[in-house]
Structure 1
Amino acid sequence: MASVQNSNVPDAPRIITPTLEELKASAYHTYNIESALEALNQDGFVALKKVVDVAHVNHLNSFMTKEADELVKNNTKPFKQGVESNILQGPPLKYPEYLYNDVFFNPFVIQIMNAYLGANPIFNLITGNNALPKTNGLRQPIHKDITFFHPQNFLNSCSPSSNPTTHHTNWMAADFWLGSHAYTSGQQQVIATPEARLSNAKLRVGEPTCNVLPEVVEARRQVRPPIQPSCEKGDIMLRDLRTWHAGMPNESENYRIMLALGYQAQWYPNHTMRFKAPLSQGNFFMKHAG
């Protein structure tokens, strides 16, 4: 059965723990599907426990840690959200030994996405975020991962944040504003100005930036303040793209790496968010098409 809430944390997010039968079948039964959908619709967030092989996590972490050393040394990756604590770092897609089905095409994630977004959602994003070590006190601004006007009360893209690849068991990478996905529109985000357009070529003047207006944040804080969920290796966090969040400081000695995969409802006309995969690994990605 699903563990609906961690009673030790007020207003904790819903957690879905698979049964042995579900793990064997690589699919949730009705109760856990219902629990996950309730969480996504009400909170914009749900955690899926123990659905990725920890050995796969460790293997990816080993590669990405070495890569991160080079990225930081050569200053070749931009900081995310303008804060010098997080860099963008995606997974190694060129090498077949790192392309695990339970990471890139997790059957539990695909099952929930088909139920939440409608049949055959579009797999439109692969990226990652690395919180650098000992960045005490540095955190991201509160934001959505959407820089365009979006529906407020309709299904939208959903991004599963795949298990942390750090050496730590517990992980509190971000604060999440549960329920914020269903109550704010693009008009309540900071709107791009010509100056913002110059700093980010992808922004369009008059359209939303990722950041949420400060007065909107403070009003929401009085209704439902943010929480920091913990996560273990092998877990996946599913988040609606509209849900507010912010990367938190990494006070440890190690990189805190997150992989993110994005899905979009078939009917929604978002033609700007997409990823490129290496042609050499086309068979891996295309065999799951549809």
Structure 2
Amino acid sequence: MKISKEELETLQLHDATVELAVNLIKVNGYVIIEGVLPQEKVTELREAFKACMNWFIDKHGEEIYLNKKGFNEGTNHLGILLPFAPPFNDSLVIEHPFALAIIDRILGTDYAVTLFSSNTSLPGGKKAQPVHPDYGARFGDLCKISLPITDLVFNIPLVDVDDGNGPMEIWPGGTHLLPDHYYGPNGPNPDELASHMHSIKVHMPAGSILIRDVRMWHRGTPNRSNEIRPNLALIYSASHRDNSVQIPQETYDNLSERAKHLFRWQKIGYPVIEPTHE
């Protein structure tokens, strides 16, 4: 989706835009709004993320690159939990008005952030990830119907994403609408079915926002460029799931009331973490 200059300048989506975005998520499993964050904010986030990644590789590089075939089974995809500190906890990241307007319509207003992380495709990947949803069955083999959307992933790419630098590949239009038990270990194998189904490689300019149902099938693809392809990644959830985010009390006290509500399930009063592998 592209939005109007007025919406960008006011940071307020028209009601028709919100409705379209919500319906796209419900029907297709995802929506992209292109070029949302200001370029200077994207640059700030990208440079800060590169510093985090360099620190992480310096500390864990030997362990990560020990096998010449690459890490994470040769996909060279790396998830890193981010420190809850500037610029990553900027309001345009954790409570972007566009994202919240859309998520409010789907999850209500009592949801919370349950993941504060990133997903990076590093150069040198030799193969794609297996096709997968992010979460498994809520009720194991018991539930035979499709459940409402309860968890939404929010991604911000920090570089332009194209075929050459490891775009996410998605299987939209129904893979998020399967009966709950299909997402469990006894359901159909997404990797076996995916080659017979329609998929899209997600291209988007830096600073776009991608909101998707966690159940939609997807995978990371190899990064054939010489630069990392980083995404910021948050999950907004209607039910309590995880509390891995450590937030110093003073930082929490200085958040907006909405942001405090979004992070209320997290570890308030704890020191900021170092960048950590998920």
User: Do both proteins adopt the same fold according to a TM-score greater than 0.5, normalized to the shorter chain?
Assistant: yes
Q: Which runs of 5+ in 2 are unaligned?
A: 65-69, 140-144, 262-278
Q: Which runs of 5+ in 1 are unaligned?
A: 1-15, 192-211
C-alpha contact (below 8 Å) 1:37/1:116 kept by paired residues: yes
Partner of 2:244: 275
1:254 paired to 2:239:
no
Q: TM-score, normalised by structure 2?
A: 0.77
In structure 2, give the amino acid aligned to 1:87.
Answer: L
1:182 paired to 2:177:
yes
Q: Select which of 18, 23, 32 maps to 2:3.
A: 18
1:138 paired to 2:127:
yes
> Residues 285 and 213 from structure 1, CA distance in 2 versus in 1: closer, same or farther, beyond 3 angstroms?
farther
Partner of 1:108: 98
Aligned length: 245
- Single out whichever of 40-49 and 152-161 deviates more from structure 2: 152-161
Give the CA deviation at 1:230.
0.5
In structure 2, give the amino acid aligned to 1:275.
Answer: S
Give the CA deviation at 1:256.
1.0
Partner of 1:152: 146
Partner of 1:90: 81
- Give the distance between the partners of 1:98 and 1:181, measured in 2 at CA: 29
Task: Note the aligned Cα RMSD (angstroms).
Answer: 2.7
> Residues 183 and 80 from structure 1, CA distance in 2 versus in 1: closer, same or farther, beyond 3 angstroms?
farther
Give the CA deviation at 1:231.
0.8
Report the 3-state secondary structure (helix = DSSP H, G, I; strand = E; otherwise coil) of the residue aligned with 2:246: coil
> Residues 80 and 174 from structure 1, CA distance in 2 versus in 1: closer, same or farther, beyond 3 angstroms?
farther
> Residues 231 and 37 from structure 1, CA distance in 2 versus in 1: closer, same or farther, beyond 3 angstroms?
same
Q: Select which of 234, 242, 258 maps to 2:207.
A: 234
Partner of 1:200: none
C-alpha contact (below 8 Å) 2:133/2:183 kept by paired residues: no
> Residues 140 and 278 from structure 1, CA distance in 2 versus in 1: closer, same or farther, beyond 3 angstroms?
same
C-alpha contact (below 8 Å) 1:130/1:258 kept by paired residues: yes
> Residues 66 and 286 from structure 1, CA distance in 2 versus in 1: closer, same or farther, beyond 3 angstroms?
same
Give the CA deviation at 1:169.
6.0
Q: TM-score, normalised by structure 1?
A: 0.74
Give the CA deviation at 1:238.
0.5
Give the CA deviation at 1:172.
5.4
